[in-house]
């Protein structure tokens, strides 16, 4: 028995693409952003080829597997073409790109190792997935579809802990940027320094990939776009302790799992962009791509919260209290305050704006977690 799923239709309705439908390759296609991209570009009439070998289960354990999301994509999208390829496999990626060649309209690169803490456990794997895997994809695109748009899901962690040098003011539930600072009105823009600061090994591997994507745009004239995201979120997130801020927090509240708050008095601020809002950015870029462009992207001033504020919202939505403890030492390189200034992207693509507020996103996450729990119980009973 299949229960009806919570409504997760994109808030930004897909519109006919400006370019003729073709092949869109999406890496990390069973993950949060990748799956949203698969659905969006499929709705636009493209043939979508997904690349995902569920490395997330290797990184974070079987509970973080994205196999459930793959099953949904196959159920919902009859034309979806899935390939269980590792992006580090140069021969397999090359063969995939050769198969479709110039018919490839876009590469939406969402695959990666996403955790600060995990990267320090296996630095070789982290760098190979994030940096070398990106290079493999860029070279395949340069050889087989150099005119295709290439979208890279980067991260604000490329700025390391440089944002922590900004002047802060402590409020009751959050840190705020000093109102006199130029970033206070709209958030942190792309002029923030990426050098001579601590990034975490994850931040360093993503920065290497980020710069490489820029270079293929500037050096080879490829249509590459780098999207330095804040917290990426939504009901499709397989949240785990080491990755997935809002999804993991809501899971802990709902399932009565203990949660540990690390540092900054729980007042650290994050902006949060729903996967559907982010993928709407990708669509806009693919329709009118640029060469080697970089964008800070996130919920911005519209969708942000502190840890304390997120906990309160989760407790209110779930009707439960979070069991939690506090560790004074923050995670290394953790930002005390991050809000993305999205004005550059909006200037280039003025039809876009974020649609999902934090509270609305948390309601979606809660409802999706409840749906998955009921589905598991029914599956157990049926056996």
pLDDT digit string, tens, across residues 307-326:
999 999 999 999 999 999 99
Residue 56 has pLDDT above 70, yes or no: yes
Supply 227's token pair. Answer: 């999207």
User: Encoding tokens for residue 286?
Assistant: 């693919």
Please provide the distance, in angstroms rounded to a whole number, between the alpha carbons at the two ends of the chain: 12
Query: Where are the chain's structural domains?
Result: 23-330+337-382
pLDDT digits (tens, 9 = 90+) for 248-261: 999 999 999 999 99
Whole-model pTM?
A: 0.92
23-330+337-382 is classed CATH 3.20.20.70: no
In whole angstroms, give the CA distance from residue 297 to residue 339.
9
Q: Is 299 left (phi over 0), alpha (psi -120 to 50) or beta?
A: alpha
Summarize pLDDT for 249-301 with one digit per residue, the tens.
999 999 999 999 999 999 999 999 999 999 999 999 999 999 999 999 999 99
Q: How far is 206 from 87, CA to CA, in rounded Å?
A: 15
Backbone angles phi, psi at 5, to 5 degrees: -85, 155
Q: Looking at the predicted structure, is the pLDDT value of residue 10 above 80?
A: no
290 in Cβ contact with 223 (< 8 Å) = yes
| Whole-angstrom distance, CA of residue 94 vs CA of residue 105 | 16
């Amino acid at each position: 028995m299949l229960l009806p799923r919570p409504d997760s239709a994109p808030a930004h309705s897909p519109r006919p693409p400006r370019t003729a439908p073709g092949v869109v390759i999406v890496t990390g296609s069973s993950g949060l952003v990748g799956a949203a991209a698969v659905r969006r570009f499929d709705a636009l009439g493209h043939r979508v080829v997904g690349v995902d070998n569920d490395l997330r289960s290797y990184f974070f354990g079987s509970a973080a597997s994205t196999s459930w999301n793959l099953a949904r994509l196959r159920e919902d999208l009859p034309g979806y073409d899935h390939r269980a390829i590792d992006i580090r496999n140069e021969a397999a990626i090359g063969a995939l790109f050769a198969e479709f060649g110039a018919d490839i309209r876009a590469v939406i690169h969402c695959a990666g190792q996403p955790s600060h803490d995990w990267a320090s456990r296996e630095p070789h794997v982290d760098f190979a997935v994030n940096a070398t895997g990106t290079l493999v994809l860029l070279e395949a695109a340069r050889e087989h579809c150099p005119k295709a748009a290439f979208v890279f899901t980067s991260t604000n962690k490329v700025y390391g802990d440089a944002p922590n040098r900004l002047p802060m003011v402590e409020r009751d539930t959050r840190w705020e940027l000093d109102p006199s600072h130029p970033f206070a009105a709209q958030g942190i823009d792309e002029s923030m320094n990426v050098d001579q600061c601590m990034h975490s090994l994850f931040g360093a591997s993503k920065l290497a990939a980020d710069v490489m994507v820029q270079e293929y745009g500037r050096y080879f004239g490829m249509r590459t776009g780098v999207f330095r995201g804040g917290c990426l979120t939504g009901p499709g997130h397989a949240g785990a302790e080491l990755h997935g801020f809002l999804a993991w927090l809501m899971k802990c509240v709902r399932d009565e799992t203990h949660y540990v708050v690390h540092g900054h008095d729980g007042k650290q601020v994050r902006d949060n962009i729903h996967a559907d809002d982010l993928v709407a950015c990708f669509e806009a870029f693919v329709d009118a791509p640029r060469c080697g462009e970089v964008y800070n992207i996130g919920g911005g001033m519209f969708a942000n919260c502190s840890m304390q504020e997120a906990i309160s919202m989760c407790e209110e939505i779930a009707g439960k209290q979070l069991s939690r403890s506090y560790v004074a030492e923050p995670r290394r390189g953790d930002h005390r305050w991050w809000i993305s200034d999205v004005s550059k992207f909006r200037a280039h693509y003025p039809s876009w704006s974020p649609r999902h507020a934090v509270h609305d996103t948390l309601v979606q996450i809660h409802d999706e977690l409840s749906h998955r729990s009921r589905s598991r119980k029914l599956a157990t009973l049926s056996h």
